[in-house]
Amino acid sequence: MGKTAISAVLGVLLVWGALLANAWGSALPSGSAETAAPCGPQEHPHYNDIAPPPAVTLCGEPLPLGDRRVWESLDREFTIAVWNRAQVFLWLKRAGRYFPFIEAKLAAAGLPGDLKYLAVAESDLQSHVRSPAGALGTWQFMERTARRHGLVKNQQMDERRNFERSTAAALSYLQALRQQFGSWTLAMAAYNCGENRVAQEISTQRVSDYYRLDLPLETERYIFRIAAIKIIMENPERYGYRVDPAHIYAPRAVDTLAVSLPHPVPIADLAQALGIDFKLIRELNGHIRGHQLPAGRYALNLPAGSGEDIAALMQDLAHSGGDPKTGEGPRHHVVRAGETLSQISQVTGVSLAQLRQLNGIDGSLIRTGQKIRITP
C-alpha cells in the first residue's frame, strides 16, 4: 500500500476515534472521575431556623416575650411542634371534625376560642388516649375529676371517652378555674397539675404570675405548648403546611337518641337490626364499655338517618325475650351461626358455668337456632 493510501486510512481512523470519544464522554455520569472534579465533602440539605412571631396572645393574655426565659420556653415548644410534620398534618385534619363542636360550645358559654387548642395539647384530638397517670379521653380527665364534673365512670360506661359530654365538662371546669385564679394561664396550669397544687405554690412562693411560678416541669411547658399549637394551626401555610380541603376529616353525621333501657341490650342485636357493623356503634359511642348497651338513661349516637322508628326499635330490643309489662330482661338468647358458648357468655354477662347449669350443657356444644336460657 502506498503512503497516500496509508495516510487516508489513518485519517479516517482518527475521525472515527474522535467521534467515539465524544460519544463515550457524553454518556459518562456527571460524577465520574473523567468528567467531574474530585469529590469534596458530602453535602446535606440545609434547613433554616423557624422562629415564633414576636408577639403572641393566648386567651387574650399576651405572653411576656420580652423576658428572655419566656421567649426561650416558647421557642422550645414551637420548634418541637413546627418540625413535627406528621403530627401537624393530623392536627389540621382532625380539627375539621372536632373544632366546629368545641367552637360552638365556647361561643355559647362566652369563653375564649383559644381554649380549643388545649384539647390538641392534651390528646392530639383523640378520644382513646390514656396517659401513664390514668387520664383518659380528648380532654384527659382523671377519674376523680371526671366524676366531680358530672361524667359517669363505672364498669359499663366511661364518659371521659364521650367527646360531647367530656367537652361540656372540660369547659365548665376551665371556667371555674378561671374564676378561682383570675387568669387563663393559671386556669390552664391548674387544669394540667390540679388546682390544689397551683394554689399551694402561689401561697408558698407568694407569686401569682404563671410565668414567675416554679411549677412541675410538665406544667411549666404546658402553656407554651398550647401557644405553639395555636401559632401553627392559625397560620399553617406560613410554616409550610398545606392540606387539600378534601383531606380534612368531616364531622361525623350522627343522630343522638335518648334511651332508657330496663336492662342491658347486646350491641350486636342493635347492629343487626340496623344493618350496620358492631364496630361502627362502638366507634360512635366510645364511652360504652363491653359488648352491651347498659341499662339506664343516657344518650346513644347512631349513624344519621338510622330511621325515625329507632326509638320503637330500641324498645323492641329492650324487651325481646322478656316481659314488657314487668320490665324483666330477656330469658333466652338465640344462637347465631358461628356463635360459641363463650361468646354468648361475654355478650350476656352470664358465666359459662351458669349457662351450662341453666341449659344442662355438658361441655360447650351448641347449635345454630338453639335457645339458650340466660336467666333462672
pTM: predicted TM-score of the whole model, two decimal places: 0.75
- Give the CA distances from residue 124 to residues 59, 222, 363, 369, in Å, rounded to whole numbers and listed in that order: 19, 14, 48, 46
pLDDT at 28: 38
Q: What is the mean pLDDT of residues 94-122?
A: 98
Give the pLDDT of residue 207. 97
The span from the CA of 155 to the CA of 151, in Å, is 13
Architecture of domain 57-247: Orthogonal Bundle (1.10)
Question: In this structure, how many other beta carbons lie within 10 angstroms of the beta carbon of residue 43?
Answer: 6
Range with the poorest average pLDDT among 5-9, 240-244, 287-291: 5-9
Residue range 331-376 in CATH 3.10.350.10: yes
CATH 3.10.350.10 range(s) for the chain read 331-376
Grid cell in block for residue 288: 360504652
Give Cβ neighbours of residue 102 (< 8 Å, ≥ 6 apart): 115, 116, 119, 167
- Comparing 86-95, 174-183, 188-197, 303-312, the range with the smallest average pLDDT is 303-312
> Which ranges in the chain are annotated with CATH 1.10.530.10?
57-247
DSSP 52: P
Structure confidence at residue 17 as a pLDDT band (50, 70, 90): low
272 vs 68: which has the higher pLDDT: 68
